[in-house]
Amino acid sequence: MKIRKAVFPVAGLGTRVLPATKAMPKEMLTIVDRPLIQYVVDEAREAGIEHFVFVTGRNKSTIEDHFDRQFELDETLKARGKKAEMDVLAQFQPEAGAMSFTRQQAPLGLGHAVWCARDIVGEEPFAVVLPDELVLNTPGCLKQMMRAAEELGPKSNIVAVEAVPDDMTHNYGICGVGKRNGNIFEIDGMVEKPPKGTAPSNLSITGRYILQPEIFKILETQERGAGGEIQLTDAMIILSKSQAFHGLEFAGERHDCGSRAGFLRANIAFGMARADLRDGLRAEMQKYLKA
């Protein structure tokens, strides 16, 4: 099963980290020295994604600018002989035509955002990657899912899952566990934010999906669910009645960068993963641990 396209829902307002996101998209907040959106695009590129589809909103134009060439900057760096900086920019520069942008126009939830990408995705399986969730691991989470897709049938849907504390399951979309093969299992039910004590497992649905195009027809008429929004999980529950869904317990450390604590934790984790920064960062942190 070949997956060529990935959808990145980036229209959210980032209210959990205000005022930082008042004038700046949350996807452009930096983890160490790169914006969040760069990390997830790199993850998708590593997984073999060829076409990157962004579902944006107002005040998100800097995301598009980030992936465009800046000729003034390129020429300035060239004139000053800054080859290292030029190489870094070239490394992250996408090919012409590899990125598409469309607008959600109304804050109707993740399911609606995915539906907005329907005409660009077309009739082929695709990935959905939530930009405020980072997974620190090599290979990346999406590449692990791609490998799982190769083992499963041509009409399989895959969801990345992570165990959460039992007393926190009411805050997440939770899936039931069927037949298992290693870290891949058949999903025998999904529920969005189940009441306390009713969750079928402690495996939460995270921000990585591989979905079949039939999901678009369901989303087109999907009624609003939790929070008054069109929930992607609700549409997946309907699709699961006619197509197989599998969960993948991925390897890696997940960081919710849409929260203040998660954002700070991600900066430390990704900084410590860098050989050129690790020693200096550890020394700086020791100052605060002694305080």
What is the average pLDDT score of the chain? Answer: 90
Contact 56, 102 (CB under 8 A): yes
Q: What burial class does residue 215 get, using C-beta atoms within 10 Å of its C-beta: 0-12 exposed, 13-18 middle, 19+ buried?
A: buried
CA 137, 109, 136: angle at the middle one, nearest 5?
Answer: 5
Residue 210 phi/psi, 5-degree rounding, is -120, 120
What pLDDT was estimated at residue 291?
59
Residue in this structure with the two tokens 């060439």, named with its chain if needed: 69
Cα–Cα distances in angstroms (integers) from residue 125 to residues 7, 11, 211, 213, 256, in the given order = 11, 22, 6, 6, 26
Helix (H) or strand (E) run with residue 159 in it: strand 157-163
Tell me what the mean pLDDT of segment 27-55 comes to.
95
Q: Pull the structure tokens for residue 251.
A: 């390897």
Give tens-digit pLDDT for 48-69.
Answer: 999 999 999 888 889 998 888 8
Which pair of structure tokens corresponds to residue 130?
């939530």
The count of C-alpha atoms lying within 13 angstroms of the C-alpha of 290, restricted to the half-sphere facing its C-beta, is 6
Q: CA 268, CA 277: separation in Å to the nearest integer?
A: 10
* Mean pLDDT value across residues 24-41: 93
The CATH number of residue 279's host domain is 3.90.550.10
pLDDT in tens, 71-97: 788 788 878 888 887 787 877 788 888
Q: Residues 134, 253, 170, 203: is their CA dihedral positive or negative?
A: positive
Which among 131, 190, 134, 133 has a CA at the least distance from the CA of 159?
190
Would you give the DSSP letter of residue 212?
-
Residue 44 has pLDDT above 90, yes or no: yes
- Residue 169 identity: T
Tokens, residue 65 = 């600018």
Per-residue model confidence as pLDDT tens digits over 108-128:
889 999 999 999 999 999 999
Average pLDDT (225-236) is: 81
Instruction: Label residue 22 by pLDDT band (50, 70, 90).
Output: confident
At 185 the pLDDT is 94
Q: Is the pLDDT of residue 194 over 80?
A: yes
User: For residues 229 and 191, what is the distance between their CA atoms, to the nearest angstrom?
Assistant: 15
Structure tokens that stand for 208 in this block: 């990585």
Q: Rg of the Cα trace of the chain?
A: 20
Q: Write the DSSP symbol of residue 68.
A: S
Give me the number of domains the chain comprises. 1
3-state secondary structure 97-142: CCEEEEECCCCCCHHHHHHCCHHHHCCCCEEEECCCEEEECCCCHH
Tell me which H or E stretch contains 18: none
Q: At what angle do helices 141-151 and 36-46 cross, to 10 degrees?
A: 30
Q: Label residue 36 by pLDDT band (50, 70, 90).
A: very high
Q: Are 155 and 245 in contact (CB under 8 A)?
A: no
Q: In this structure, which amino acid lies at residue 67?
A: F
What are 40's two structure tokens? 């997830």
d(CA 278, CA 269): 10
Domain that holds residue 125: 5-290
